[in-house]
Structure 1
Amino acid sequence: MIRFDRVSKRFHAHRQRPRSFHELFVEGWRLWRRPPAEVFWALRDVSFEVKPGETVGLIGPNGAGKSTVLKLVARVLKPTSGRVEVWGRVAALLELGVGFHPELTGRENVFLNGAFLGIPRREMARRLEAIVAFAELEDYIDVPVKHYSSGMYVRLAFAVSVYLDPEILLVDEVLAVGDAAFQRKCVDHLMALQQAGVTILLVSHDLEAVQRLCHRALWFDHGRIRMEGMPSSVVQAYLDQVREREDQALRDHNRQEGPARRGSGRVRIQRVYLTDGEGRERYHFETGETMRIHLRYRAEKRIERPIFGLAIHRQDGVHICGPNTAFSGFEIPWVEGEGEIIYTIPTLPLLEGTYLISVAATDERDSEIFDYHDRAYVFRVVRGRHPERYGLMTMGGRWDHERLSVPQSLSVL
């Protein structure tokens, strides 16, 4: 249904000329001489095919070229080089409200979109009731769409697209605008279209939806296809790269000098870093993994029975815990010179989110603060293979079921 053969797409970005004589006078002649256009390649030498009835997901970071692919299929853009071949009637849901005239009512825009695709007005009238019902706009269909909320806009746009009997459906990220109930309805309808043999090209940052809906996935990176294959494999490879980049950014952040600190300085915490169960320095963890927090210190003089502690806050400020060596009954007789304290969490109970760590060293009476770093270190928790997704942490509990009685009708059977 769709074939890309060594397709590239180039854009030119021109700097703005002076908008007034005053601006020209102030900025000088250099603004009048338009500099050479900056060239941006949205796609470079891209080749792939989509077979009839396939649902293919396009994933990757913003600016990777995914939406450009959809616009080329929809004939909104032409390739700079290469060849794009499309067989079949295309319905595209590319951007919120594209193809809608703001001054026209929802009803008039339905007929307008049908006219764009060459569908007779009588046929569109036959489909109108189903479109309005799906979009849940019965009370607003005769209101100009300029008065619609973003959710109403996208509901109508999606309903029109899927009820035009497309052979190829292009869906960009706009589905995220709808509420949760409408998103579920959209997914159900996409599955029905799949059963009917419609070819679907889906751009989404919802990687779970890509794995659930798509037969194949293409990972785009800087205008090229980096990986193609089964959605689960492609998504995992993409997530691994994203986490590797984020992990490096967190590592750089946590190593920067000069954290917000206070204290007498008789013991100084010189470095804080995290490792996993295999001793690798990391700042991304999955729920349930082993995580170790290392506090490397230096004491210029001998300090008797110091206490080391830490606190973990969620990014929104919720204080989760504040363990220290005294609470755990872990006595350190004295410190002098350099050393390291390690706090091990065998099974990390935190659910997905961003977390901040504070660290401290105090005297045995907790009256003198030697060193205190307030929420200076960051780590991320991702779901990974853990099924829970709601709340702050997993309790690690166990479910049991005990039947206390059996209905009389079932006991007879």
Structure 2
Amino acid sequence: MSFLTVSNVGKAYKRYPGKWSRALEWMTGKPHHDKNWVLRDISFTVGPGEAVGIIGVNGAGKSTLLKIVTGTTQPTSGSVAIQGRVAALLELGMGFHPDFTGRQNVFIAGQLLGLRAEEIAACMPEIEAFSEIGDYIDQPVRVYSSGMQVRLAFSVATAVRPDILIVDEALSVGDAYFQHKSFNKIREFREQGTTLLIVSHDRSAIQSLCDRAILLEHGYIIKDGNPEEVMDFYNAIIAEKENATVEVKRLEDGRAQTSSGTGEARVESITLLNQSDEAVEYINVGDSVKLKIDVRIHADLPELVFGYMIKDRLGQPVFGTNTHHLGVEIGRCCKGDKVTLFFSFPANIGLGSYSVSTALHIADSHLAVNYEWRDLALVFNVVNLNRDQFVGGSWLPPQVKCQR
């Protein structure tokens, strides 16, 4: 059983070569246009209570897909089947009339969502409290900031728990406080069985909220699967240049390792060392450790920067830095050179499995020139051998003083 089924959906917009072409088409009945396809052959299903993230670069077709799912845009081909009540937060202030007050717009937007006037009136105190816009609720929406519009729109869309909640990137406009508040409410809905479809460039939001992720590229689905793997592949595509490649290799533990880059410099080996300089896979909480990285240079390079990112088992970033930000200059490199780097740090992180991603590039990030980006370059585990019991992702042992 699925709550949402998208079958072979395509969307094309007509493109006319001249200003009279549309009139000629109307008079002759013959086509005088080309078709610009923004979506092609999109098919997927979403089950009850499942959360799916839609990602992709700008122009990939994400927002168009959500509009087709919600029915505000009709597909050129294919079909969408939905079970249950849908609440959608798409474009900023969608459905709001600028000259009506916030309260009046709540009733209009609520009725567009299928709520009766008496239901909206009953929810109004909760909507006012959640949006926290105060007396502005009785002011025209045209005097609202973009953040206030998002607050009110989200409060209306979530006033009654929907069967399916669809959220575009509108939440990114709001302030950090309201984003946290909104995502907490989305999590509550998920626990109660709401199906979620969300578009976001926020890796942590996709990985913490979603069971699956779908990557769109040029209007096609190019990857559908585990959020961490899909986000790694997406990051590799962003870093890809004309002479770069994206490769996905399945590791022994079943996880997918994504790498990309020109190959002009490559990490030959990466090792985690303990205080005795022994290679280890398990370390104790708070122990001093070192990352040892051997880099082989395969072309003359004017500059080289090495960066690494430690991620938890869900792929959430724990800590990352690079030699550029640390003020360490590797300098020019010649073909055949070997560069060895050591990074020493205390493992003040919580129990669990962690991975290390590596990047070789120039300047401050791999988005300019990407020699090599590799996810899951190293996997290690943190255990508690002799520390006081604690919970959380960081080990921050306090000094306690009690006064009476």
Q: Which has the higher Rg, Structure 1 or Structure 2? A: 1
Which residue is equivalent to 1:224? Answer: 220
Aligned length in residues: 308
Which whole-Å CA distance do the structure 1 matches of 2:196 and 2:294 have between them?
41
1:344 aligns with 2:339: yes
Change (3 A) 1:216 1:108: same
TM-score, structure 1 length as denominator?
0.63
Give the 4+ runs in structure 1 shifted more than 4 A: 287-297, 309-312, 321-325, 339-343, 351-355, 377-386, 398-403, 405-409
Which residue is equivalent to 2:11? Answer: 9
TM-score, structure 2 length as denominator?
0.64
> Is the Cα–Cα contact under 8 Å of residues 114 and 164 in structure 1 kept in the other structure?
no
Matches within 5 A, 1:28-107: 36-107=32-103
Return the offset for 1:278: 2.4
Return the offset for 1:2: 0.9
Which residue is equivalent to 2:363? Answer: 356
Which whole-Å CA distance do the structure 2 matches of 1:400 and 1:119 have between them?
48
- RMSD in angstroms over aligned alpha carbons? 4.1
Return the offset for 1:225: 1.5
1:149 aligns with 2:151: no
Change (3 A) 1:172 1:311: closer
Matches within 5 A, 1:288-299: 290=294, 296=300
1:205 pairs with one of 178, 185, 201: 201
Which whole-Å CA distance do the structure 1 matches of 2:55 and 2:198 have between them?
9
Which residue is equivalent to 1:166? Answer: 162
> Is the Cα–Cα contact under 8 Å of residues 276 and 289 in structure 1 kept in the other structure?
no
Which whole-Å CA distance do the structure 2 matches of 1:355 and 1:112 have between them?
52
2:135 pairs with one of 130, 134, 139: 139
Which whole-Å CA distance do the structure 2 matches of 1:115 and 1:402 have between them?
53
Which whole-Å CA distance do the structure 2 matches of 1:238 and 1:85 have between them?
28
**CA deviation map 1:261-309 (0-9, x unaligned):** xxxxxxxxxxxx9623329xxxxxxx98555678959xxxxxxxxxxx9
> Is the Cα–Cα contact under 8 Å of residues 266 and 371 in structure 2 kept in the other structure?
no
Change (3 A) 1:145 1:277: same
Which residue is equivalent to 1:276? Answer: 266
Matches within 5 A, 1:234-383: 234-245=230-241, 248=244, 275-278=265-268, 290=294, 296=300, 320-321=327-328, 342=337, 344=339, 346-347=341-342, 356=363
Change (3 A) 1:144 1:83: same
The percentage of counterpart residues that share the same residue type is 40
> Is the Cα–Cα contact under 8 Å of residues 100 and 141 in structure 2 kept in the other structure?
yes
> Is the Cα–Cα contact under 8 Å of residues 48 and 195 in structure 2 kept in the other structure?
yes
Which whole-Å CA distance do the structure 2 matches of 1:49 and 1:80 have between them?
19
Letter paired with 1:356: A
Q: Which runs of 5+ in 1 are unaligned?
A: 19-34, 250-272, 280-286, 298-308, 326-338, 358-376, 387-397
Q: Which runs of 5+ in 2 are unaligned?
A: 21-30, 246-262, 270-290, 306-320, 345-357, 378-393
> Is the Cα–Cα contact under 8 Å of residues 113 and 157 in structure 2 kept in the other structure?
no
Which residue is equivalent to 1:108? Answer: 104
